[in-house]
Chain A
Amino acid sequence: MSYRVKSIERNSQIKRVGKICFQLLIVSLALVALASCSKKVTRIDVEETKDLSGDWNDTDSRLVSKEMIGDVLSRPWISDFVQKSGKKPAVIVGEIRNLSHEHIAVGTFVGDMERELINSGRVDFVASKTERKEVREERSDQDLHASEETRKAMGEEYGADYMLKGSINTIIDSEGDEQVKYYQVDLTLISLVDNRKAWVGQKKIKKFIEKNKLRI
C-alpha cells in the first residue's frame, strides 16, 4: 500500500517537473519564433511618403528637387539671358556641399533637377568636371584610333554660362528621446561671366522625431 502511495507521489512530482519543462520549451519556442520572423516585402508607390528613421530620405530629396525646379523655371533669369544673347543659357553643376549631420546622397536631387531642366527645353546643361574628364580621355583616344570622318576635334567644347552651387545644412535640437531636425537646402546660380548671382533657391524641411524608449 505504502509503495503505491509513494509511486503516485513521485508520479505527480515528475508530472510537475514535466510541466515546468514544457512551459520553458513553449517560452523558448516563442522567443525563437519572434527572432526568426521571415522577411516580408511590399511594393509601394515611388511618391508615397514613408518615414522610418527620421533621416534624410527619398521624399525629402523629391520635395527639394520639385520646389527648386518650379522656382528656377519660373524666374526671369532665363528670359533675360535669351533676350540679351539670343541663345539658351548653358548651366554646369558645381559643388553641392553637404554641411549637414547626415551622409546625404546629394546626387539624387541634383540629378532630378538636371533632368527636369534639360527636358523643359529652356536650358542647356554642360557635363560636370568629372564627366568632362572622361569625355576628354575618350576624345584623345579617338584622336589616335578613330577614322578621320568620325573623329571629334578638341577645343570645341561648349562653355557654360552659369554654375549651380549649393549646400545642405541641418540644425538639430534634442532633449531626451525627442528631436527636431531642420534641413535647409540652398542653391545658387552664379554667372560665370561676372560672378553675379542669377537665382537663389531655398527649401526648408522640419521634422519632429520621437525615439522609442522600449523594444521587445
Chain B
Amino acid sequence: MVYERCRAAGIMCFRAIVCLLLVLSVNGCAGYSANIRNVEQQLVVQNYQAALAILEKLYAGSSRDAVLYNLNKGMLLRMSGDYNASNTAFETAKQLMERVEAISVTEQTSSLLINDQVKSYEGEVFEKLLLHFYKILNYLELGKKDEARVEVLQTDQRLKEIKQKLSEDDLPEEAWIRYMSGIVFEDLGEWSDAMIAYRKAYESYRQYWAGFKLSIPYSLKAALLRLADRQGLYDELEQYKQEFGIQEWETVAQRSGQGELVIIVNGGLAPVKLADSATVISPSSGQLIRISVPVYVKRPIALSGANYNVAEQQGQLEIMEIVDPIAIKTLERNMPTIIARAAARQALKYQATKQGRQENAALGLLVNIGGALLEQADTRSWTTLPQTIYMARIPLNPGTYNLSLNIVSSYDGKDQALNFGGLEIKAGQNTYRSLHWIPHNVTNLPGNPREYTRVNANYGIR
C-alpha cells in the first residue's frame, strides 16, 4: 500500500519535472532570433504599426530583454517616422544599459546553471554606438541640433568609458559615429571640435580599411581638407592633399552662402544570431554533453548602391558603416568568454548528473537530459539595425528642393525610385533626411548557420 502510494507520488513528481523541462526547453527553443522573424515580415511590407504590435507581444514585460525591446522599438518607431517617440524608447534603452552594466549576482549564478539567455541583455559596443547615432539622427531630423550635440558629447564620454575597459589593440569601431559627430559640430559652426571629430573618424576608417576593406568616404576626405584649410593647419592640409590625391575642394568660404543636404539611407537589416549546437555522448561516462553557441548569419546583401538626383546634381551615396563584419568581429571577440561559460556549465551539469545517478539511475538520466535541453545559445542581438549605412552630403543654394533617390536592389537588380519633396535648404545650415530600405529577401536565412559564416563580403574600393 505504502509502496503503491510512493510510486504514484514518484511518478507524479517525475512527470511534473519533465513537463517543467519541456516548457522551459520549448520557451528556449523558440528563442529571440526566431520570434523576431515575425516582426521582420511586417517591415518588408512597411507595416510598422503591425510590427510594433508584434514586438509588444513578444516581450510582454520581460525585464532581462528590456534593453533589446527598447532598441527594437526605437528603431521601428523611427522607421515609421515618429522620431520623438523613437528617442524616448532609445533613451530608456540607454539608461537601462547603464543599469545592466553592473554585474548581477543572481543572473551570473542562474546563467551558470541554466544558460546565457537568463542574463539581462546589455548590448554590444557597436550597438551602443549605433544607439547614439540614431538618437543623433532623430534629433537632427527634428531640427533639434543642440540636443543632437548633447548626444554627440555623450557618445564621446561613452567611447572614453568603453576604451578604458578594452585593451589597447582592441579598439571599438567608432569611425561612423565620429564622422557624424564632426558633421554636427561643423553644422553648428564649431570648427575646432569638428576638425577633431573628423580626424578621429579618419583614424578609425583606416582601421576599417585594414580590417574590412571599407575605404575612407570621399566626403570625409573633402571635409578634412576643408577644415584643415579653415583652421590654418597647413602642414596637415598638405599631408591630406598628398595622401588623398585631391588638389581642389570647396573651402568654407566658398560654401558660406550655401546649405548642405545630408541624405542617409539605412539598407537592409543586421545579421542574425543562430544557435550552433553539438550534442555528444561521452564515451567514458555515457553522459549526454551538449554545447550551444551563437553564430552570426549574414542576410543577403540588401542593396548594391544608391544614387541621388537633385537640382541637376547627380551622385552616389557612399558607404559609411557596415554592420555585418563589425558584428561578427564583436562576437569573435566575445567567443572565448562564451565558451568558457559553456564549459563551466557543462562541468556543473556533469557533477549534478553524477550525483543524481548515485541516488537513482532514473534521476541521473533526468538531470542529464534536463541539463542538456536547457543548454541554449544566447541568440539575442539588435536585429532591426541596418546592414549598411549610406550617406551623401550635397551642398545646395538656399531654396526648396525635391530629391529623387535611386536604389539599386541586389535582390532583383531592379532600380527603385524614391522621392523626398519640399526639402528646405538654408544658408550655413544642414538639412537632414533619412530612410530605411528593406528588401523582400531579408528574411531568407540559410538553414545551416555554418554555411554562411564562410561567406566574406567584399566592400570593394570605390
A31-B106, A176-B164, A216-B106 as given contacts; A14 in contact with B150, CB under 8 Å: no
Docked Cα-Cα span, A3 to B16, in Å, equals 27
- Report if A103 contacts B (CB, 8 A): yes
| Interchain CB contact under 8 A, B157 and A101 | yes
- Report if B104 contacts A (CB, 8 A): yes
- Report if A84 contacts B (CB, 8 A): no
A13-B360, A17-B363, A98-B150 as given contacts; A215 in contact with B102, CB under 8 Å: yes
**Which residues in A have their C-beta under 8 angstroms from that of B360?**
13
The answer, among A11, A174, A211, A216, for a CB contact under 8 Å with B6, is: A11
Docked Cα-Cα span, A14 to B5, in Å, equals 11
Q: Identify the stretch in B7-15, B203-211, B295-303 within 8 Å (CB) of chain A at 4 or more residues.
A: B7-15
| Chain B facing A: main interface SS | helix
| Interchain CB contact under 8 A, B157 and A14 | no
Return the CB mask of A189-216 against B: 1 if under 8 Å, else 0: 0000000000000000000000111111
**Which residues in B have their C-beta under 8 angstroms from that of A3?**
3
- Report if A26 contacts B (CB, 8 A): no
- Report if A149 contacts B (CB, 8 A): no
- Report if A97 contacts B (CB, 8 A): yes
| Interchain CB contact under 8 A, A7 and B359 | no
A172-B157, A215-B103 as given contacts; A7 in contact with B6, CB under 8 Å: yes
Closest beta carbon of chain A to B305's beta carbon, Å = 37
Docked Cα-Cα span, A37 to B149, in Å, equals 38
| Interchain CB contact under 8 A, B106 and A10 | no
Docked Cα-Cα span, A14 to B363, in Å, equals 10
| Interchain CB contact under 8 A, B13 and A17 | yes
- Report if B147 contacts A (CB, 8 A): yes
| Interchain CB contact under 8 A, A214 and B146 | no
Return the CB mask of B102-137 against A: 1 if under 8 Å, else 0: 111110000000000000000000000000000000
| Interchain CB contact under 8 A, A214 and B7 | no
- Report if A138 contacts B (CB, 8 A): no
Docked Cα-Cα span, A213 to B98, in Å, equals 11
Which chain B residue has the least Cβ–Cβ distance from A17?
A: B13
A7-B2, A7-B3, A11-B2 as given contacts; A174 in contact with B160, CB under 8 Å: yes
| Interchain CB contact under 8 A, B103 and A14 | no
| Interchain CB contact under 8 A, B147 and A10 | no
Tell me how many residues of A have a C-beta within 8 Å of chain B: 33
A16-B359, A99-B149, A101-B154 as given contacts; A213 in contact with B10, CB under 8 Å: no
- Report if A102 contacts B (CB, 8 A): yes
| Interchain CB contact under 8 A, A14 and B13 | yes
Closest beta carbon of chain B to A29's beta carbon, Å = 14
Docked Cα-Cα span, A205 to B425, in Å, equals 39
Docked Cα-Cα span, A31 to B118, in Å, equals 13
- Report if B153 contacts A (CB, 8 A): yes
**Which residues in B have their C-beta under 8 angstroms from that of A216?**
104-106
| Interchain CB contact under 8 A, B9 and A215 | no
Output the residue of A98, A103, A213, A216 with the most chain B CB within 10 A. Answer: A103
A102-B150, A174-B157, A176-B164 as given contacts; A14 in contact with B104, CB under 8 Å: no
The answer, among A16, A35, A100, A172, for a CB contact under 8 Å with B63, is: A35
| Interchain CB contact under 8 A, B161 and A174 | yes
- Report if A21 contacts B (CB, 8 A): yes
Closest beta carbon of chain A to B374's beta carbon, Å = 13
**Which residues in A have their C-beta under 8 angstroms from that of B16?**
21
- Report if A18 contacts B (CB, 8 A): yes
Within 8 A of A (CB), among B136-174: 146-147, 149-150, 153-154, 157, 160-161, 164
| Interchain CB contact under 8 A, B104 and A13 | no
**Which residues in A have their C-beta under 8 angstroms from that of B154?**
101-102
Closest beta carbon of chain A to B232's beta carbon, Å = 24
**Which residues in A have their C-beta under 8 angstroms from that of B450?**
none
Closest beta carbon of chain B to A51's beta carbon, Å = 16
| Interchain CB contact under 8 A, A14 and B10 | yes
**Which residues in A have their C-beta under 8 angstroms from that of B17?**
21
- Report if A175 contacts B (CB, 8 A): yes
Return the CB mask of A102-120 against B: 1 if under 8 Å, else 0: 1110000000000000000
**Which residues in A have their C-beta under 8 angstroms from that of B6?**
7, 10-11, 14
Docked Cα-Cα span, A21 to B14, in Å, equals 10
| Interchain CB contact under 8 A, B105 and A215 | yes
- Report if B414 contacts A (CB, 8 A): no
Docked Cα-Cα span, A212 to B99, in Å, equals 8
Which chain B residue has the least Cβ–Cβ distance from A102?
A: B150
| Interchain CB contact under 8 A, A10 and B7 | yes
**Which residues in B have their C-beta under 8 angstroms from that of A17?**
10, 13, 359, 363
Which chain B residue has the least Cβ–Cβ distance from A16?
A: B359
A13-B360, A215-B102 as given contacts; A100 in contact with B3, CB under 8 Å: no
Closest beta carbon of chain B to A2's beta carbon, Å = 12
Closest beta carbon of chain B to A53's beta carbon, Å = 8
A97-B146, A101-B150 as given contacts; A215 in contact with B104, CB under 8 Å: yes
**Which residues in A have their C-beta under 8 angstroms from that of B157?**
101, 172, 174
| Interchain CB contact under 8 A, B150 and A103 | yes
Which chain B residue has the least Cβ–Cβ distance from A95?
A: B146
The answer, among A21, A102, A172, A215, for a CB contact under 8 Å with B13, is: A21
Docked Cα-Cα span, A104 to B95, in Å, equals 15
**Which residues in A have their C-beta under 8 angstroms from that of B91?**
103
Jot down 19 A-B pairs with beta carbons below 8 A, ordered by A.
A3-B3, A6-B3, A11-B6, A16-B359, A17-B10, A21-B16, A21-B17, A31-B106, A53-B95, A99-B146, A100-B150, A102-B154, A104-B150, A174-B161, A213-B102, A214-B103, A215-B102, A215-B105, A216-B105
Query: 3 nearest interchain CB pairs?
Result: A7-B3, A215-B102, A101-B153
Question: 13 more A-B contacts (CB under 8 A) besides A211-B102, A213-B102?
Answer: A13-B360, A17-B10, A21-B13, A21-B16, A53-B95, A100-B153, A102-B150, A103-B147, A211-B98, A211-B101, A215-B102, A216-B104, A216-B106
